Amino acid sequence: MSNGKNFSGVDLFSGAGGLSLGAEWAGIDVQYAVELDKSASLTYKKNHSSSLVLNEDIARLDKNSFPNLDNLFILFGGPPCQGFSTSNQKTRNNSNPKNRLYLEFLRLVHELKPVWVVIENVQGIYNFDNGKIVRKIVDDLNSCGYRSKKTILNSVDFGVPQKRKRFILVANRHNIDFEFPQGNPSFVSVGDAISDLPELQNGDMKEECNYIDCKLSNYMKLMRGKSNMARQNYVSKNSELVIKRYAYIGQGENWKSIPKELMTNYKDMARCHSGIYKRLNNNEPSVVISNYRKNMLIHPTQDRGLSVREAARLQSFPDDYIFEGSISEIQQQIGNAVPPLLSKVIFSRILEYE
């Protein structure tokens, strides 16, 4: 990486700031972020004080919305992905208006003319509509002088304690044949990630707790940084029936371990997703942290849902990263985020070409 360069960045559809955090760790100066959701934009502002956050509809923005932004180095972001996700069968079609937001991203590529472009999305976008969306993105970028490479990366291969596959496209105007970073076959387990966090009860809303005294893994040390307390130990309050169900589920097991007489409110058990009522395994990476409240993800050893801080750890957000909004809004922000450690690897690789 060359010294003395200004690696300026703009984050579109920034959410809580997972992509931006990784970019900053790599050495990118993220000058602007765009996020329509109010609580997510407040989280971003809380943790990225040097960036200007535009809490706006991207369709209302143009190059004049980003003053003093000359010679933009990199434009990046993840257009809302619910419409492309294979887990969303109800609106996974071309009539979903969110499926068109990538066009707004491409419009700003044309207007801002960054040197590099990074687009992140769910794995499902790769084959959505027989691959037409991805081909359109690549063709559009090619038409304005960008050379693109695309792949699927699994977060677990890059130090994140979670199996989470993401579509990544990297494009540049240098005509560089970009090569994606290679992952590491070793993994960080759930136990390595959260075993030092406090014991909690169903419905706890504890702002600060002491860490548990234990042998710290390298990942725990990384996430703690200079923090001396665990913050935002918020746990959704589930009904007594739900907590009773949890007791029957062993590590790595799901709803199938629950006695049928406790599941009578489910009309068709055959349609239950394998991720429902999933208890995490301390010795394995986590399953995908998406809407972990709705999916009833269970703590490995305690009969309760995951706390905000535990979910943030499993996404590789450090302990000093504070989320704004209601607990449900925070849970959604964490679930939607790009793991910062994965983000850092991608941006670091890009800077190796400069």
Give the pLDDT confidence score for residue 91 in this predicted structure. 45
Same domain? 206 vs 332: yes
Q: Is pLDDT above 70 for 20?
A: yes
Q: Which residue has better confidence, 2 or 33?
A: 33
- Cα 213 from chain centroid (whole Å): 29
Mean pLDDT for the stretch of residues 206-211: 98
Same domain? 19 vs 163: yes
**Assigned domain for 1 exists:** no
Which residue range is the domain that position 345 belongs to? Answer: 8-183+338-351
Same domain? 142 vs 33: yes
pLDDT, tens only, 81-127: 655 544 444 444 455 556 679 999 999 999 999 999 999 999 988 88
Same domain? 78 vs 17: yes
**Assigned domain for 100 exists:** yes
Same domain? 42 vs 82: yes
Measured CA to CA, the distance from residue 133 to residue 136 in angstroms comes to: 5
Alpha helices in 93-186 (DSSP H): 101-112, 132-143
Mean pLDDT for the stretch of residues 137-152: 97
Mean pLDDT for the stretch of residues 164-172: 97
Measured CA to CA, the distance from residue 34 to residue 274 in angstroms comes to: 35
Same domain? 144 vs 288: no
Same domain? 87 vs 229: no
CB distance 147 to 115 below 8 Å: no
Question: Exposed/middle/buried for 237, CB within 10 Å: 0-12, 13-18, 19+?
Answer: middle
Measured CA to CA, the distance from residue 230 to residue 211 in angstroms comes to: 6
pLDDT, tens only, 282-309: 999 999 998 777 778 999 999 999 999 9
**Assigned domain for 210 exists:** yes
CATH number at residue 330: 3.90.120.10
Structure tokens given for 56 = 């706006």
Question: Per the structure, how many domains does the chain have?
Answer: 2
Look over the chain and give the mean of its residue pLDDT values, rounded to a whole number: 92
Question: Exposed/middle/buried for 17, CB within 10 Å: 0-12, 13-18, 19+?
Answer: buried
**Assigned domain for 301 exists:** yes
CB distance 32 to 54 below 8 Å: yes
How far apart, in Å, do the first and last CA atoms of the chain sit? 5
Least confident residue range of 71-80, 88-97, 157-166: 88-97
Please state, in angstroms and as integers, the Cα–Cα distance from residue 56 to each residue in 37, 83, 99, following that order. Answer: 8, 21, 18
**Assigned domain for 2 exists:** no
Give the pLDDT confidence score for residue 2 in this predicted structure. 46
CB distance 318 to 24 below 8 Å: no
Measured CA to CA, the distance from residue 201 to residue 233 in angstroms comes to: 10
Active site residues: 81
CATH number at residue 51: 3.40.50.150
Please name the helix (run of DSSP H) or strand (run of DSSP E) that holds residue 25, with its range, or none: helix 18-26
CB distance 304 to 310 below 8 Å: no
Same domain? 228 vs 318: yes
Give the pLDDT confidence score for residue 93 in this predicted structure. 47
Measured CA to CA, the distance from residue 106 to residue 287 in angstroms comes to: 32
Structure tokens given for 67 = 């003053």
Please state, in angstroms and as integers, the Cα–Cα distance from residue 144 to each residue in 73, 116, 210, 259, following that order. Answer: 16, 12, 53, 59
CB distance 309 to 353 below 8 Å: no
Same domain? 60 vs 198: no
Same domain? 134 vs 224: no
Mean pLDDT for the stretch of residues 332-338: 96
pLDDT over 90 percentage in the chain: 81
Structure tokens given for 186 = 């070793």
**Assigned domain for 78 exists:** yes
**Assigned domain for 137 exists:** yes
- Cα 30 from chain centroid (whole Å): 17
20: alpha, beta or left? (left if phi > 0; alpha if psi -120 to 50): alpha
Same domain? 268 vs 331: yes
Same domain? 226 vs 319: yes
**Assigned domain for 3 exists:** no
Measured CA to CA, the distance from residue 110 to residue 177 in angstroms comes to: 21
Alpha helices in 81-195 (DSSP H): 101-112, 132-143, 190-194
